[in-house]
Amino acid sequence: NAGVTQTPKFQVLKTGQSMTLQCAQDMNHEYMSWYRQDPGMGLRLIHYSVGAGITDQGEVPNGYNVSRSTTEDFPLRLLSAAPSQTSVYFCASKKKGTAPNYGYTFGSGTRLTVV
Amino acid sequence: GENVEQHPSTLSVQEGDSAVIKCTYSDSASNYFPWYKQELGKRPQLIIDIRSNVGEKKDQRIAVTLNKTAKHFSLHITETQPEDSAVYFCASRLTGFQKLVFGTGTRLLVSP
């Protein structure tokens, strides 16, 4: 298993550009989430999904869109990049259920800089 | 919505000492409390978690305690080692939801 795979690892965008951060998991996990990590602010939830075709907003959804057409993929779209979106983005997935070790597995992150 | 406060923001200990990190959550309907460790430049990794029907859970040198009445939970690391140096995040999840709300993190430095 590759686990949770995020691409790209690094990206520089100009203000106003759009782009898609890719996230894929091969563990047949039902739940997937996107977080952004900023210094001193921990991890903040952007959007999440409990299954294919179902998405919902987290704490900081403005400026981001998501879709979940398959169980494996959960892309995050930046519609018009702003410097405030400079951050490290993590995708995470989790299997449905409450058995031991059913916590979220994180991808390796995408470091995004908007200039 | 749910809010999680985490203290301290930084913690320095000598190798072999114990370290305690504390978190407070706001919503009494929260039922799941994981702890993540993040080494510099790496992804967060789950190290231990506890559910609201349990008061304490141990895994070798780490333990988590939960006080539902006070809405507190804590991470305890005994016999700390330099490789324990990292940022630790607590989180909570409301019953029936799949959203994790994270604390702001504690940077633990273990000096040899």
Confidence of residue A102 (pLDDT cuts 50, 70, 90): low
The Cα–Cα gap between A94 and A63 comes to: 25
Partner-chain contact A42 B46, CB within 8 Å: no
Min Cα separation A81/chain B (Å): 23
Task: Express each pLDDT in A4-57 by its tens digit.
Answer: 999 999 999 999 999 999 999 999 999 999 999 998 788 999 999 999 999 999
User: What DSSP string runs through B30-53?
Assistant: EEEEEEEEE-TTS--EEEEEEETT
Kindly tell me if the per-residue pLDDT of A64 is higher than 60.
yes
The minimal CB distance from B102 to the residues A40, A42, A107 is found for A42
Which amino acid appears at position A58 of this protein? Answer: G
Mean pLDDT over the full length of chain A: 93
Task: Express each pLDDT in B35-50 by its tens digit.
Answer: 999 999 999 999 999 9
Partner-chain contact A48 B98, CB within 8 Å: yes
- Contact B43/B20 with Cβ under 8 angstroms? no
Partner-chain contact A104 B43, CB within 8 Å: no
User: What DSSP string runs through A67-112?
Assistant: --SSSSB--EEESS--GGG-EEEEEEEE-SS-STT---EE---EEE
